Amino acid sequence: AQKVTQAQTEISVVEKEDVTLDCVYETRDTTYYLFWYKQPPSGELVFLIRRNSFDEQNEISGRYSWNFQKSTSSFNFTITASQVVDSAVYFCALTSGNTPLVFGKGTRLSVIA
Amino acid sequence: EADIYQTPRYLVIGTGKKITLECSQTMGHDKMYWYQQDPGMELHLIHYSYGVNSTEKGDLSSESTVSRIRTEHFPLTLESARPSHTSQYLCASSEGHGVGTEAFFGQGTRLTVV
């Protein structure tokens, strides 16, 4: 069975602080795919990143960066110099390929001006 | 850019009514999904389809039904709405050819049953 754990239910930071959202996953498959989605107050889930199990290279996109570590089954997401517009619920998700996405319970991030 | 549409965005309906939530995508995706999001944010898969005339139930037991007669259309029906059905419903689609491709989501339907 596949499982995604986001232990942080809610995080509150002051604008310009860095924040890391944790994601730990469980799967018996050797090939799998990890995702992060953002859900702003408007409701739709916005795709942020996809990473496959064979690519442990960390990725940076502007203020966003992702740290994938197979040894600890983690795929953490860091926002540098947070902004109020980053306030949203963030979901980590997992699939083995042809199965529907399994989501974590989400982390609600509030960035205070 | 993703083109997946859900209607209505908001719906308030009385107990016992039959309702259909619409979901359409213009990307030609074979795979489509319905997720139910409870007030605590958690997303639960209730139905999915990997192509026309193919539907499967998800992890969360649901009293809803779905159909997939056309590739682009994946409606969800509640035969008799109850207050426990009050939730946000999110539709998504993804490519059928690729493996582990990202899913694109609609804006959701927020359903309230009174």
Per-residue tens of pLDDT for chain B, all 114 residues = 569 999 999 999 999 999 999 999 999 999 999 999 988 799 999 999 999 999 999 988 778 999 999 999 999 999 999 999 999 999 999 987 767 788 999 999 999 999
Q: Which residues of B have a CB under 8 Å from any CB of A?
A: 2, 33, 35, 40-43, 45, 48, 58, 88, 90, 92, 99-108, 110
With beta carbons less than 8 A apart as the criterion, state whether A14 and A79 touch: no
Model confidence band, residue A40 (pLDDT cutoffs 50, 70, 90): very high
| Pair type for strands B10-13 and B109-113 | parallel
Judge whether A62 is closer than 8 Å to chain B, CB to CB.
Answer: no
Tell me the range of A18-22, A26-30, A95-99 where mean pLDDT is highest.
A18-22
> How many Cβ atoms sit within 10 Å of the Cβ of residue A53?
19
Percent of chain A at pLDDT exceeding 70: 100
Does B41 contact A42 at a Cβ distance shorter than 8 Å? no
| CA-based nearest residue to A64, from A36, A42, A39 | A36
Measured in whole angstroms, how far is the alpha carbon of residue A15 from the centre of its chain?
A: 20
Q: Phi and psi for A72 in degrees, rounded to 5?
A: -115, 5
- What pLDDT does A36 receive? 97
List pLDDT tens digits, range A57-84.
Answer: 888 889 999 999 999 999 999 999 999 9
3-class DSSP state of B21: strand
Say which amino acid occupies A77.
F
Q: In the block, which residue shows the tokens 């899913």?
A: B103
